[in-house]
Structure 1
Amino acid sequence: MSSNSDSESNTNTDTLVQKTPSTATFKDIGVMEQLCEACEKLGFKAPTEIQRESIPWSLSGRDIIGLAQTGSGKTAAFALPILQALWNNPSPLFACIMAPTRELAYQISETFEALGSGIGAKCAVVVGGMDLISQQIALSKKPHIIVCTPGRLQDHLENTKGFSLRTLKYLVMDEADRLLDMDFGPKIDQILKVIPRERTTFLFSATMTTKVAKLQRASLTDPVKIEVSAKYSTVDKLLQYYMFFPFKHKDCYLIWLMNEMAGHSAIVFARTCNEVLRIGLLLRSLGIDAIPLHGQLSMDKRLGALNKFKSGARKVLVATDVASRGLDIPAVDLVVNYDIPSFSKDYIHRVGRTARAGRSGKAISFVTQYDVELLQRIEQVIGKKLDEFPGEKDAILLLQERVNEAQRLAMIELKELQSKQKKGKKRARENADRQMSLNEAKKISKGGKKKTGARR
């Protein structure tokens, strides 16, 4: 063990030197029998590195800073110690887990419910975009675990009668670097002011940015720092390729690749919501089972798209970066970067959707004449050169005529969809204005009656 003093916070941050043997089982690292059985049922054969190193410290009651690459098993690393502590000391509103996205919050909740089913753990999800009243009802039933996005939790703390986190024993900030990138910092600060100081706090992040370091100093006491991956990296079982071609042939190469990988599950990442919709329509018009996922969809539709892809009802998910962080979708065979991300760390998170939990996977990035510099930056960050994915150019371009027709049909359908959406929004605005006018008229009418009554 080595201990480093932090003069700004007067706390010590311990960094692990002696590692737990890689052959250790969940039982060996202190997980109780009921939870070991739950792990077995879920197919968790042995603890991952972040789980091996962090769980013994968590079980001893220490605050944790966990730095680990995507797909490393961080959720179970904090869920197992919390559930074990809950078993030993049952209490409502026992733990709060903050996540940056709604999808990730639901996924964390599913993990808690699956691992905690044998001990009767109850979980509530509190995120934006969903009905506030049904969430208030769920909170009134005093669940053991709340999984939330910071903004909606703050709404409930301010506006939901009778709700507080006075009994909170555990706070988890998952994907902390993303929480702070999304400007949740002020909301988190407000939440930290109203929750008990006497608590155990876990902070998990892919990277230790200056913002994360500041949050650590503000919220953790004498934490143990566990760093499984010191730099941006991708897992060894991930095969990474690129395909280089002129921009005008992008769709043609995508259709060829989807045909080559037919029967395999794939996530295609694009930069904008519009492009996601267009690609989804293009693929479907050519008989490829695709479903879109982006931030402009309602929460129900987003969860529906994810569930269809997870269950295998759809083989291809076309998504923006809303699907790039934290989501654990089993057995994704291929990740396609249709648009190369502008930031290298987004590449790491995107390709982390495949080759998870020891499985292998492929990631293929489309590189046009405009993307060469972005590719070079990514290669520099991950410390390796990508191989070129084999493909006969002449055979690929034979598809161009079919693709041109499919592009034309997709654009017509996209315009129709956008027109319907505009009409729907206009109608909603008109209804809202009408309702406001009615409410104003009622107020004026009531005011007039009161004055008349007063004169009488």
Structure 2
Amino acid sequence: MAEEETDVSFKELGVVDVLAEACERLKWKTPSKIQKEAIPLALEGKDVIGLAETGSGKTGAFALPILQALLEKPQRLFALVLTPTRELAYQISEQFTALGSSIGIKCAVIVGGIDMYDQALMLAKKPHILIATPGRLVDHLENTKGFGLRSLKFLVMDEADRILNMDFEQEVDKILKVIPKDRRTFLFSATMTKKVQKLQRACLREPTKVEVNNKYKTVDNLVQSYLFIPVKFKDVYLVHILNELSGNSFIIFSSTCNNTQRLALMVRNLGFNAIPLHGQMSQEKRLGALNKFKSKNSAILIATDVASRGLDIPHVDVVINFDIPTHTKDYIHRVGRTARAGRSGKAITFVTQYEVELYKRIEELLGRQLPLYTTEEAEVMQLVERVSEAQRFTRIEMKDAEDRKMAARKKKRGQDEDDTEEASGVRKKFKKKRTN
């Protein structure tokens, strides 16, 4: 039976030749589990709810049926994909563009951090596929003249649980009110939360549910362990592991933007090629950081949970949870960045004296105890002096950067005040003329 499953091709699922050939060009040899289950149902015209682990090929599961339907009845503003983050939106766009390259598909990405006017010009060209974050899409629906979604034939909500956890419920409600009721809807999520169930009832018609994973599961070829350390030596242990496992590529997860920036500067000061990725960076810098890491120009990506879900970077060897996630389920998504597409991977979680309870919740979620990652304490402590010096340089760099920001803000405030005074002077002159 297992052999029969591996032999199934995209053509056998009902995918037309031109799209099956596009899959071959992308080196998608056989459909993933979620693709095998969801694509035939979607091609039959059904609404689909797909529950699948992160990195399971969900984008292909909804992109292929949409592109096939578009080939049958070509039109502009054909499908809308809603997604929680900017990075995921760009990644989905890349996959649509790659799959539809030979049939002239036009995609537009509508996310925050990009000029509204430039986006309005893209929307005026009426792309076939629109990939958007809910907040920015609502901005355009309310403010961009002539833009509407009345002709829409498909709605996809990708990472639906995360869209709702990020408090986009109001925006999603507004979008549902202005799109046609006569449409096809695909809802994909890693977990089926109460909010997702409520959304399912609101926007899907007699959906078929496809579930290809246990509720909270990590892949078998992922080696997971923990490291119990005093909080004051976290940086030292991090540097030790980067040295010990050098030659691998890493994603290091930190809980805050500030700490992400600090860690990136500190390990750079120790000679590692590291790049940060967090929500306070501009969209251009975030995409630049991702591209550097994807193209292997940098072996270490230090990130907040902005990188924990949906991003497809196949070559990640090691995930380090420098800070334990506050939401236990986020652990599954973080460690899912490695051991993808059949590769093996490592995940190491730092546990300090203040994080024992959070860590216990992770083990409860996994239903098992993880092994201790073994280190020689004496060997680690030899790094203390070098790390302390790097920390000192990092503090100076961060203070300089903050001072530059403050100076720029003051300068801008001064310009704004000058502009206000000038405007006030013009108003006074105008009033004086009218009085005379």
**TM-score (norm: length of structure 2):** 0.96
The alpha-carbon distance between structure 1 residues 162 and 285, as it changes in their structure 2 partners (threshold 3 A), is: same
Q: In structure 1, what is the Cα distance between the partners aligned to 2:172 and 2:66?
A: 21
SS state at 1:111 partner: helix
Shift of 1:389: 1.6
2:175 aligned residue: 191
The alpha-carbon distance between structure 1 residues 197 and 349, as it changes in their structure 2 partners (threshold 3 A), is: same
1:202 aligned residue: 186
| Code of the aligned partner of 1:172 | V
SS state at 2:329 partner: helix
Shift of 1:438: 4.3
| Code of the aligned partner of 1:123 | C
The alpha-carbon distance between structure 1 residues 431 and 224, as it changes in their structure 2 partners (threshold 3 A), is: farther
1:3-52 Cα deviation digits (max 9, x unpaired): xxxxxxxxxxxxxxxxx945311111111111111111112111111111
Shift of 1:62: 0.8
Q: In structure 2, what is the Cα distance between the partners aligned to 1:119 and 1:240?
A: 43
1:295-349 Cα deviation digits (max 9, x unpaired): 1111111111111111111110111111111111121111100011122111111
1:6 aligned residue: none
| Code of the aligned partner of 2:266 | L
Does the 8 A contact of 1:50 with 1:74 survive in 2?
A: yes
Q: In structure 1, what is the Cα distance between the partners aligned to 2:303 and 2:38?
A: 32
Alignment of 1:247-326 (within 5 A): 247-326=231-310
SS state at 2:100 partner: helix
The alpha-carbon distance between structure 1 residues 312 and 447, as it changes in their structure 2 partners (threshold 3 A), is: farther
Q: In structure 2, what is the Cα distance between the partners aligned to 1:135 and 1:169?
A: 22
1:186-208 Cα deviation digits (max 9, x unpaired): 01101111111110011111111
Determine if the alignment matches structure 1 residue 403 to structure 2 residue 387. yes
Out of 39, 43, 46, the residue aligned to residue 62 of structure 1 is 46
The alpha-carbon distance between structure 1 residues 312 and 436, as it changes in their structure 2 partners (threshold 3 A), is: farther
Q: In structure 2, what is the Cα distance between the partners aligned to 1:239 and 1:249?
A: 24
1:418 aligned residue: 402
The alpha-carbon distance between structure 1 residues 24 and 428, as it changes in their structure 2 partners (threshold 3 A), is: farther
2:140 aligned residue: 156
The alpha-carbon distance between structure 1 residues 52 and 430, as it changes in their structure 2 partners (threshold 3 A), is: farther
Q: In structure 2, what is the Cα distance between the partners aligned to 1:57 and 1:345?
A: 29
The alpha-carbon distance between structure 1 residues 63 and 439, as it changes in their structure 2 partners (threshold 3 A), is: farther
The alpha-carbon distance between structure 1 residues 256 and 56, as it changes in their structure 2 partners (threshold 3 A), is: same
SS state at 1:419 partner: helix
The alpha-carbon distance between structure 1 residues 440 and 27, as it changes in their structure 2 partners (threshold 3 A), is: farther
Q: In structure 2, what is the Cα distance between the partners aligned to 1:445 and 1:328?
A: 61
Out of 23, 43, 63, the residue aligned to residue 39 of structure 1 is 23
SS state at 1:25 partner: coil
Does the 8 A contact of 1:99 with 1:149 survive in 2?
A: yes
Gaps of 5+ in 2: none
| Code of the aligned partner of 1:72 | S
SS state at 1:241 partner: strand
The alpha-carbon distance between structure 1 residues 397 and 154, as it changes in their structure 2 partners (threshold 3 A), is: same
Q: In structure 2, what is the Cα distance between the partners aligned to 1:194 and 1:148?
A: 15
1:137 aligned residue: 121
1:381-400 Cα deviation digits (max 9, x unpaired): 01222111222111111111
Shift of 1:369: 1.5
**TM-score (norm: length of structure 1):** 0.92
Shift of 1:446: 5.8
Determine if the alignment matches structure 1 residue 236 to structure 2 residue 220. yes
SS state at 2:226 partner: strand
1:176 aligned residue: 160
Q: In structure 2, what is the Cα distance between the partners aligned to 1:436 and 1:46?
A: 64
The alpha-carbon distance between structure 1 residues 188 and 439, as it changes in their structure 2 partners (threshold 3 A), is: farther
Q: In structure 1, what is the Cα distance between the partners aligned to 2:326 and 2:217?
A: 17
1:387 aligned residue: 371
The alpha-carbon distance between structure 1 residues 127 and 224, as it changes in their structure 2 partners (threshold 3 A), is: same
The alpha-carbon distance between structure 1 residues 425 and 283, as it changes in their structure 2 partners (threshold 3 A), is: same
- Number of residue pairs aligned between Structure 1 and Structure 2: 433
Determine if the alignment matches structure 1 residue 225 to structure 2 residue 209. yes
SS state at 1:387 partner: coil
Q: In structure 2, what is the Cα distance between the partners aligned to 1:40 and 1:350?
A: 29
1:37-92 Cα deviation digits (max 9, x unpaired): 11111121111111110000111111111111111111111111111111111100
Does the 8 A contact of 1:22 with 1:49 survive in 2?
A: no
| Code of the aligned partner of 1:251 | D
Gaps of 5+ in 1: 1-19
SS state at 2:29 partner: coil
Q: In structure 1, what is the Cα distance between the partners aligned to 2:286 and 2:60?
A: 24
2:101 aligned residue: 117
2:55 aligned residue: 71
1:8 aligned residue: none
